[in-house]
Chains A and B, each alone.
Chain A
Amino acid sequence: MNMQFRPVNRVRAINWNRVQDDKDLEVWNRLTSNFWLPEKVPLSNDIPSWATLNAEEQKLTIRVFTGLTLLDTIQNGVGSIRLMADVQTPHEEAVLSNISFMEAVHARSYSSIFSTLCLTPDVDDAYRWSEENPFLQQKATLIMQQYDSGDSLKKKVASVFLESFLFYSGFYLPMYWSSRAKLTNTADLIRLIIKDESVHGYYIGYKFQREIERLSEAKRQEIKDFAFDLLLELYDNEARYTEDLYDGVGLAEDVKMFLHYNANKALMNLGYEALFPPEACKVNAAILSALSPNADENHDFFSGSGSSYVIGKAIATEDEDWDF
């Protein structure tokens, strides 16, 4: 028996009462208070609505959800795990473990939708499609290359682009159905996923920004160039993925507006300026309002148009520490 005792690094227990970065605790609280499971959403109420979609619309919907499942699978098993290698604090690792698990919940949710609404052979067809579709495979490859790069900054950039940009060619469709009063329970479930992914993109983008603060100006420029190049490469592929999926129902151009809008938001999560100009980001008002009921209300009091001097009708909350 050849047992060697090497001096090992001391193993440390995580202490949530000594937090180095308050953002870790804030995001942990946010994520855990958002926790949900697909079983809580009454998906079966969408069965009559599903039957009103024609065969092509059903096929599109199943494919879109299969594509989203693939991205969630990557984030669960690879993305968040690879990010753990670079953590600066033990709390960051704990947050990433939460993110990883929720990605598994998201991936699992699409299967709940399928088992509730769809026929097994149709779903099996879509899984086959997902392995053969060159654009879907290409986007997975582009992301995986960065996850395999061993570069902590490139991994974070790829992760934020996946969370805050690549999902949206898929998220468009349930918002579209919901705006037409179809599959509304499914849309409720997707909105839960969107909220989670938004926190993930925000948090990983925040950690990215903390990390580049320590770099020289030249290095910061280098990673910024890398980020914009990767975004454009992903965008080219995403535009083709979108055409491949949505041309048949005539929605591809509308989806692209949504892509531009979300690409800008992904860049903002990294602390960068928007890339696509406002005229390329004119998201269909019905989609925006399916996403956020507040988004379509005109809150541009300045321009004098819209609802103007309407003081909020109801106070949504009362924190006990208000004095008035």
Chain B
Amino acid sequence: MGTLVYYSSTSENTHRFVQKLGLASVRLPVDAGSEPPQVDEPFVLVVPTYGGNGGKGTVPKPVILFLNNPANRRLIRGVIAAGNTNFGAAYGAAGEIVSAKCAVPLLYRFEMLGTDEDVANVKQGLERFWTRSH
């Protein structure tokens, strides 16, 4: 079973979702000036998109810095995207971008803090995902 790596701004929305999952996780620094962590086991990335237009700046800087390290990038297995359907085509866009760039599947999308249904889906889904693929 791998781990989760996630980014959450000071709004703490994604942080709360990950807390509800109750799974092992690594939080990326909020501040883009901090050194990104290095992981040593396969992980699924949880990344929010906040009000972007799908263009530059859609993927949070700390996520880019983290993935720029080839040792981290080698271990990414999938992406979960957070967002808000009100942002149209940009809903969860950061997840799509990372999925395409790293050639890993976009596993799930949820809105804002996620509902109980989302938490249950992701928990069960990840369990199956890790047993099936690793």
Contact = CB atoms under 8 A, between A and B. Distances in A.
Interface in B53-78: 53-59, 61, 64-65, 67-68, 70, 73, 78
Given A30-B51, A292-B91, A294-B89, A198 B84 contact: yes
A324 B101 contact: yes
Interface string A27-39: 0001001100000
A194 B116 CA distance: 25
Q: How large is the interface on B (under 10, 10 to 19, 20 to 34, 35 or more residues)?
A: 35 or more
Interface in A152-179: none
A23 B11 contact: yes
A278 B108 contact: no
A250 interface: no
B39 interface: no
B106 interface: yes
B65 to A, nearest CB: 8
B96 A195 contact: no
Contacts of B128: 302
B64 A321 contact: yes
A22 B85 CA distance: 24
A317 B97 contact: yes
A208 to B, nearest CB: 11
Contacts of B101: 315, 322, 324
Contacts of A232: none
A198 B111 CA distance: 12
Contacts of B21: none
B116 A274 contact: yes
Given A195-B88, A288-B85, A312 B117 contact: no
Contact of A294 (B73, B91, B124): B91
A264 B128 CA distance: 29
Contacts of A300: 108, 121, 125
A294 B103 contact: no
Contacts of B92: 294, 299
A26 B10 CA distance: 11
A80 B30 CA distance: 28
A293 B85 CA distance: 9
Contact of B88 (A191, A269, A299, A310): A191
A33 B97 contact: no
Interface of A: 21-23, 26, 30, 33-34, 191, 194-195, 197-199, 202, 206, 209, 264-265, 268-269, 271, 273-274, 278, 288, 291-295, 299-303, 308-319, 321-324
7 contacts: A26-B9, A198-B86, A291-B85, A300-B121, A300-B125, A302-B128, A317-B55
Given A206-B10, A291-B85, A299-B108, 18 more contacts: A33-B53, A194-B86, A195-B51, A198-B51, A269-B112, A271-B113, A292-B85, A292-B86, A292-B89, A295-B85, A295-B91, A299-B109, A301-B107, A302-B108, A302-B125, A303-B125, A317-B55, A321-B68
